[in-house]
Structure 1
């Protein structure tokens, strides 16, 4: 049995992609959402987001430095450091995400693009070329020190402001993993002969 189909007036949709879309920003960097259900006032959240964005920029810088060194490491400890640098890179990926999510939770806007990170970070930029292992490790240790010092500063400021979440993040989520990574790579600078004389 044939079913009669009623022809409907359907407006055809334009499925052509619209390239180069432009619009105003919906929230400026450095601002926070004023009216949001959060126990901290906007002034405190703005200050915490500013400090966390600095930490985020430096964490992105060390994350990328770990990947650079993972690719460029050489020498007798190549295999161990190649694996360790990549492991630390993956851990830093998670730390970066944790910091960024805290900024968003506070109603702020995260720094994200490489050029912006390069302008903001306090971590000295390594050269593009390949460096010896002790130099790679020294750079990473200095970057960890910068991040750990910032964690302490953020934790103290958050404690004073009553921001328990940011305080906990700075110490438990960011400081402690950076301490551990710093310890792991620092042990590679201890002078030990690769071959013991008989």
Structure 2
């Protein structure tokens, strides 16, 4: 080892990245940190984390459906729906982050990887190919309806458990945003004449 400018020995520089690191998980999925500064008991937090991870998986599925339909939309309403689907995707990205952060706040582990999400989600995956616009919109509306029902059920369970933070989040952030998005895309299925006779 070489002497530094102040007489201290320093280790030789090693600018090679350390990769291929292996370690055990520090927290298993489905568990919560037991001893943490939170007023809710570990059993309440674990129950809420389970419900929120289901909502997260379904919201990630909806988010990704918006991007798929953004890429694959076609027809006379292409421009409007192409932009709207991408706007809703961006909004769902924020909602997904909000749910994942709530799970972490409660001491849980958020589901994150696509394969894990696909296994957990209750929203059916669309086919890989392109579908007609009314089918794309119908799929999105069904997914929104499912998530809105989940929000209602979680809010009720959170209220019963005294989990005001989760109750507020699912109603104020997730439910209201899904209601609004559902209304926006649902209007594209209303049959209206373009020209009055």
CA distance in 2, matches of 1:8, 1:73: 65
1:151 maps to 151
In structure 1, the gaps of 5 or more residues are: none
Q: Would you say 1:15 and 2:10 are equivalent positions?
A: no
Q: What is the distance in 2 between the residues matched to 1:184 and 1:9?
A: 66
SS in 1 for 2:10: coil
Runs of 4+ in 1 over 6 A off after TM superposition: none
The within-5 A match list for 1:1-198 is: 8-194=8-194, 196=195
Q: Give the unaligned 5+ runs of structure 2.
A: none
1:140-192 Cα offsets, whole Å, 9 max, x none, are 00000110010001000000000000000111110010000001000000112
Distance 1:158 1:46 in 2: 12
Shift of 1:104: 0.2
Cα 1:9–1:82, aligned 2, differ >3 Å: closer, same or farther? same
> Matches of 2:91 and 2:6 in 1, distance apart?
60
Q: CA deviation at 1:13?
A: 3.8
Q: CA deviation at 1:20?
A: 1.5
Count, aligned residues: 193
Root mean square deviation, CA, Å: 1.3
- TM-score of the aligned structures, taking structure 2 as reference length: 0.94
How many angstroms does 1:9 deviate by? 2.9
TM-score, length of structure 1 as denominator length: 0.94
